[in-house]
Amino acid sequence: MVAFKLLSLATLVAAAAAQNATIRYMPFGDSITEIICWRAKLWDKLQTTEWKNVDFVGSGKTENNCKNTKYDRDNEGHSGFLAIDIANKKQLVGWLQKNPADVITMHLGTNDIVQQNKAVADIITAFSTLVQVMRDSNPKMKIVVAQIIPMGMGSYNTKIQDLNKQIVPWAQSKNSTNSPIWVVDQYTGFSGSSDLRDGVHPNDSGDTKMMNVWYPALINAFSVVQKSRVQEREEMEARAVKFTA
């Protein structure tokens, strides 16, 4: 009887601690996640909210002259990488092992289209593999997937729009209660001329636009993580009460 009581007390303490644990967010993608300043702007904006303690995670710490000494630079943005390669080489498996996350954003596909003219269907297949890797790492991963920004050079935007169009039904087909996928539109309203510094990467106005698109989706994802932790705690407490009664 005493042992049961101790056990349930330990469970309660663990549940309370889990509820309080820092939420971990991984910005995942290519150079449009690595060598940009939307992460700095996002971190700044979060400092004014209840989510200021959210921990950005990832193996990279690239700074892009964002003139911000304070922000959490940790990210999993890899310049030049293709979604198809990351999926085939299983790279995200190790990245998430090193830096587990509760919430992840994914902006990928640009290099698949621009560098190698990959088929949209193959990019979508890679996205499915990546989502499975995320869920193998954390069955409750909250996933925010971007419809990607336009390019300011070449004639890639038709294919980019084709990919963006297919992301919606794909995400719906992969959606789940434990691990929801939210699609955000980084394309609409983003100018291939005045929001890019080099035809590919956002400049200051582009960074602000991207941040403003990620922000509400992330706030929502963080609150879903928090709610499910509270719910788990309540369920554990209910079980503990039954145990001791």
Name which of 115 and 194 has its Cβ closer to ligand NAG.
Answer: 194
Shortest CB 16 distance to ligand NAG, Å: 4
Measured in residues, the chain has a length of 245
The reply on whether position 205 binds ligand NAG by CB under 6 A is yes
The reply on whether position 128 binds ligand NAG by CB under 6 A is no
Shortest CB 128 distance to ligand NAG, Å: 14
Q: By rule CB under 6 A, what string of x and - marks binding of each residue 138-177 to ligand NAG?
A: ---------------------------------xx--x-x
Contact with ligand NAG (CB under 6 A) among 50, 136, 204, 235:
204
Name which of 94 and 216 has its Cβ closer to ligand NAG.
Answer: 216
Query: Angle between the 204-244 and 38-46 helix axes, to the nearest 10 degrees?
Result: 50
CA dihedral 89, 92, 97, 99 (to 10 degrees): 150
Residue 4, phi-psi category: left (phi > 0), alpha (psi -120 to 50), beta (remainder): alpha
- Write the CB contacts of 189 (distance below 8 Å, at least 6 apart in sequence): 209
Q: Which of residues 2-41 bind ligand NAG (CB under 6 A)?
A: 16-17, 20
The reply on whether position 182 binds ligand NAG by CB under 6 A is yes
DSSP character string of 64-108: -S-S-SSS---BEE-TT--HHHHHHTTHHHHHHHHS--SEEEEE-
Shortest CB 54 distance to ligand NAG, Å: 14
3-state DSSP helix/strand/coil percent for the chain, to nearest 5?
50, 10, 35
Name which of 115 and 172 has its Cβ closer to ligand NAG.
Answer: 172
Other beta carbons within 10 angstroms of residue 146's beta carbon come to 25
CA–CA distance, 44 with 52 (Å, rounded to integer): 9
Contact with ligand NAG (CB under 6 A) among 203, 212, 223, 228:
203
Name which of 68 and 91 has its Cβ closer to ligand NAG.
Answer: 68
Footprint of ligand NAG on this chain (CB under 6 A)? 16-17, 20, 171-172, 175, 177, 180-183, 194, 196-197, 203-205
